[in-house]
Amino acid sequence: MIEKPKASLLLIRDTFTNKAVLGKLYLNGEFYGHTLELPWKSNSKGISCIPKGVYEVKKRHTEKSKYKYEHLHILDVVDRELILMHIGNYPKNSRGCILLGNTRALNFVGESRKAFYRLMYDLGSFEEIELIIKNR
């Protein structure tokens, strides 16, 4: 049996403010970019980041989505649904999802579109994607 290639994403949250959580994303052990999420508010829908843990991720593109580009769907988040990783720069762009950028500042990630499209390109050959989220 041939094993399917698997991508490993590691998100290490390292900066916590009252408006956002910033972190670093690694793809297969290599630093990839910066992340922005909403602050922890007991995993409340639409206003909180998701719990630390290990998640299966699927590529997603559907006409029903407001995101008209392929993005990532984080599966089996306890008490939550439709948690995505997508393009965005500020906490107001998140609603509980993970944003990716090439640069970061307080409560901000920059060059999100460039970083995200590069990630999707680099994930192109992988059929399975795992996301591990840790707090520093």
Closest by Cα among 33, 32, 9, 35 to 22: 35
Q: Name residue, tokens 């989505």.
A: 65
Query: Where do the domains of the chain lie?
Result: 6-135
pLDDT tens across the length of the chain (136 residues): 666 689 999 999 999 999 999 999 999 999 999 999 999 999 999 999 999 999 999 998 776 666 667 899 999 999 999 999 999 999 999 999 999 999 999 999 999 999 999 999 999 989 899 999 999 9
Architecture field, domain 6-135? Beta Barrel (2.40)
Tell me the pTM. 0.93
Q: Name residue, tokens 């992340």.
A: 35
